[in-house]
Each structure stands twice: as C-alpha cells, then as structure tokens.
C-alpha cells in the first residue's frame, strides 16, 4: 500500500509541526530566566574581564542566563534613547556617571532604593560611591567598578632626561616640552582632541578654577578662568608643539596607539587601560603610573563609577541578582586582574591583590582626593556638542580661546534653559 502525499496532508502535517514547535522552547527553557545586559566595553581585556565575571555569576546562579551586548561608547546614548522611547529596552545596562541624569530624566532607569538599602553588601561601599546614581533621594544602580583617572608616562624617557613625573600643571607642561623631539618622532603628551576630548577640557577648566557647579548648586562657567584654561590647554599644541599635530581628531584609539607605539611620553586616561598598555610596554620599566597633576587652583582627578542598573522593571528580580553580583569581592578582583578597573567596593579595594601592587598606588591615592565629574541634565549633550567643537576650533586656529569660551557659555545657557 502506498500513501499519497497530497497538498492537504502536507498542510495538515505542517500545521501539526508548527503547533508542536510552539510548545517545545517553553519546555526546554522553563527553568532559566534570560536577561540581556548592555555595556560599553570595547577592548579585549574588558571583554575578558566581563567573561570572567559572567562565568562566576553562572556558577553562582545557574537559573539566570545573561546575554551581553556591546554598544560602542559614542553610540550608547543614541541606542539606549531609542530603546527607551520604542519600548525595547534591555533588562540591565551599564551606565557611567555623566549619563545618569539624562537617563533618569527620560525614565530609562528603575528605582532600586529599597533593594539597595536591604542589600547585605551595602556597607562595603562608601556613601560617596552612590552619589552620582542618586537623584531626588532615589538610587538607581550599584557601582560596578571605578574609573580612576591617572597618568601613564614613559619611565624610560623620563629617566633618560633626568625628569621626575610631574605633580603640577606647570611641571607637566615643562616635561611635555622637554620630551618633545620631532627628529625622533616623539611628542611630550598625547592630547585627546577628538571624540571624548571634552572631558579633558572641562577638567582643565576646573583645574584653573572654572567649576561648572557652584557651591550653591547653580550651574555657570567663570569666563576669565575658563579662557585661561583653554588658552593653556590648547597652547600645548599651538604654542609648544608638544602634542602630535593629529590631536584635533585623536580619540581613544589614537592616544593609546601613540603611547603604545612610542610616539608620546605621557597619557592621561584611567586605570582600565592598564592591562592593555602592559601587553605592549613593560610596566615599571618602560612605563609607570602617576596621579594626574594638580591645577593651579584645584586638583582635578576624576573618580567616575560605572553603574549597573535595571532598565526593564519586568525582569527586575533576575537583573538585581546580576547587578549586585558585581559587588562581590571575587567578581571585582577578577575584573580588575583582567582590566585594571578598580573595584567600587571599599572592601574589595583593600584586597591584597590590589594593595600589594605598587603600580596601583597612584590610583589608590587618587581614591582619597578624586572627585566625580559634573552631572546634570543636559551636561553630556553640552560637553559633546558644544565644548568639544569649540575647543577643536581653537586647536585648528579658527577661533580664539575667548570665542570658544563664549560659545561654551552660550551653549550652557541653552542646555539648562
């Protein structure tokens, strides 16, 4: 007997298979909650660190499956804004300090005040760690790790020139000029005038006394002090020639490459690039670390925190387990060992694996005097869309420091209007 395979029997079989397949996934994955996590890690060391943390988490929480998704830093706010507006937000997200105000304002983060207050590890963290993630008394995330700004310098070049690492802006400029040798293709400092350079401009302005947030909480910029700062900072290129001519377009990749390939003598960044630099240069021999030099008025070394937050309230239980896991000492140290990012937890930062390494001392010292970046709604947009282009115009000699600062002041007024 033969069976005739006609169109109707094929359709019936297809319908049956479809109905069966709709049931199967629910059966297979019913035991695990899946959450996705957005982050802005880009380097291999950061990914390696994240992988280690995810492995430790998977071992501790086999009922929660975390899928990580990298969003490049410059595009992060565009993506998260679109996700929040369209209702397709991720379950959990890494957020840096300067973005918190904008995300809270647009309703992108979930209030975790009660959970954090009841968290058994809350006491491991100094209260100041939560300052940037707290708005109107509500806490929206847990600090995952710390961006501690510090300086990398070519110890071998400094020893060759008989120089000590600079501790003030004046010593820094002097060292940059002395270590510049165009014949050898060397420049004293790798200035970040491209993407991301706006934070340096703001830090230098603050170092010269032009704070953004005044003591009474108002937001303004001291014109004269800001002009002095912009003139000094741009002077490193325009007057001293102590930075590469590519500075107006140099972003993260360019300043790192310049330092790692022996073009620049000093680099200002944070501890997160320590492992990457160590792969190409010998730590303690070819390069060493130092605290960011002090300005004439203020010592501005930024302490920023990357916070892990819950962005989708529907999966808050699983996401909460994920974000608080980063506060565990083992997770924090595993991440540090792969990247160099300091733990945000005070208890984890005292771990022997950190306190016993002399190269980490400048970062540990900075924890004592470091200050957070300014944070208010509109700050990120103003700094990126106004401060950076205005400063670039000074670097390419299309504007004077006075014109640039006036543009910054006008832009600031519009941003907070």
Partner 1 sequence: MTSNVGSAYSRPPLTLWDRINPVRMIGELSETRYWMYLLLIPSALLITAVVIYPTLYGMQMSFREMRLNRPDLGTGWVGLKHYQRMLTDPIFWVSLRNTAVWVTSAIALEFLIGLIAALTLNRNLPGSKVLAVLILLPYFLPNVVAGHMWALMLDPRLGVINDLLVKIGWLEGYKAWFADPSTAMAAAIVVEAWHSFPFFTLLILAGLKGIPSDLYKAADIDGAGPFAQLRLITLPMLKTIIAAAVILRVIGLVNSPDLLLILTSGGPGRSTQVLSLYAFQTAYKDFNFGYAGALSVVMFILLMGFAWAYVRLSKVNED
Nearest-approach distance from CB 238 to partner 1, in angstroms = 13
* Interaction between residue 78 and partner 1 (CB under 8 A): yes
Residue 135 binding partner 1, by CB under 8 A: no
| 248: contact with partner 1 by CB under 8 A | yes
Regarding 385 and contact with partner 1 (CB under 8 A), the answer is yes
181: helix, strand or coil: strand
Beta pairing, strands 92-96 & 33-39: parallel
Stretch that binds partner 1, among 79-87, 218-226, 302-310, 340-348 (CB under 8 A): 79-87
Interface with partner 1, residue 415, by CB under 8 A: yes
Exposed/middle/buried for 12, CB within 10 Å: 0-12, 13-18, 19+? exposed
* 187-189 and 64-70 beta bridge pairing: unpaired
Q: Is 265 in the site for partner 1 (CB under 8 A)?
A: no
Residue count, binding to partner 1 (CB under 8 A): 43
Q: Which residue in 77, 109, 405, 408 binds partner 1 (CB under 8 A)?
A: 77
Q: Note whether 180 and 174 are within 8 A (CB).
A: no
Assign residue 375 a region (left: φ > 0; alpha: ψ between -120 and 50; beta: otherwise): beta
Query: Applying CB under 8 A, which of residues 49, 193, 327, 401 lies at the interface with partner 1?
Result: 193
Is residue 11 close enough to count as binding partner 1 by CB under 8 A? no
Region for 383 from its dihedrals, namely left if φ exceeds 0, alpha if ψ lies in -120 to 50, beta otherwise? alpha
Minimum distance between the CB of residue 285 and partner 1, rounded to whole angstroms? 23
CA angle, corner 286, sides to 284 and 289, nearest 5?
A: 50
- Stretch in the footprint of partner 1 (CB under 8 A) among 62-70, 104-112, 310-318, 359-367: 104-112
Residue 182: CA count within 13 A, CB half-sphere: 6
Residues near partner 1, by CB under 8 A: 74, 77-78, 81-82, 85, 101-102, 105-107, 193-195, 244-250, 254, 257-258, 261, 263, 377-378, 380-382, 384-385, 388-390, 392-393, 395-396, 398-399, 415
């Amino acid at each position: 007997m033969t069976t005739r395979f006609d169109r109707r029997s094929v359709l019936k079989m297809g319908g049956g298979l479809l109905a069966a397949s709709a049931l199967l996934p629910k059966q297979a994955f019913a035991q695990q909650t899946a959450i996705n996590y957005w982050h802005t890690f880009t380097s291999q060391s950061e990914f390696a660190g994240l992988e280690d943390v995810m492995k430790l988490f998977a071992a501790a929480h086999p009922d929660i499956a975390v899928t990580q998704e990298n969003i490049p830093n410059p595009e992060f706010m565009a993506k998260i804004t679109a996700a929040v507006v369209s209702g397709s937000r991720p379950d959990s997200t890494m957020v840096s300090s300067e973005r918190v105000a904008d995300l809270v304002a647009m309703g992108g983060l979930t209030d975790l005040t009660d959970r954090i207050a009841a968290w058994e590890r809350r006491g491991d963290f100094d209260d100041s760690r939560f300052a940037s993630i707290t708005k109107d008394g509500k806490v929206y995330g847990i600090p995952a790790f710390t961006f501690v700004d510090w300086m990398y310098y070519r110890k071998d070049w400094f020893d060759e020139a008989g120089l000590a690492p600079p501790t003030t802006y004046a010593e820094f400029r002097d060292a940059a000029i002395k270590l510049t040798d165009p014949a050898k293709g060397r420049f004293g400092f790798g200035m970040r005038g491209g993407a991301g350079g706006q934070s340096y401009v703001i830090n230098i302005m603050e170092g010269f006394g032009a704070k953004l947030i005044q003591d009474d909480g108002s937001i303004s910029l001291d014109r004269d002090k800001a002009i002095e700062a912009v003139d000094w900072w741009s002077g490193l290129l325009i007057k001293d020639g102590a930075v590469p001519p590519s500075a107006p377009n140099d972003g993260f990749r360019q300043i790192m490459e310049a330092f790692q390939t022996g073009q620049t003598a000093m680099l200002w960044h944070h501890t997160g690039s320590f492992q990457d630099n160590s792969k190409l240069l010998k730590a303690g021999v070819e390069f060493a670390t130092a605290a960011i030099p002090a300005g004439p008025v203020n010592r501005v070394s930024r302490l920023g925190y990357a916070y892990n937050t819950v962005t989708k309230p529907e999966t808050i239980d699983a996401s909460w387990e994920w974000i608080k896991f980063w506060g565990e000492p083992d997770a924090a140290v595993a991440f540090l060992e792969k990247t160099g990012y300091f733990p945000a937890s005070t208890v984890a930062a005292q771990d022997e694996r950190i306190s016993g390494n002399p190269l980490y001392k400048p970062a540990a010292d900075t924890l004592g005097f470091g200050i957070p970046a300014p944070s208010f709604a509109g700050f990120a947009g103003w700094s990126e869309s106004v401060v950076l282009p205005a400063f670039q115009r000074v670097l390419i000699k299309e504007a004077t420091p006075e014109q640039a600062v006036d543009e910054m002041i006008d832009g600031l007024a519009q941003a907070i209007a």
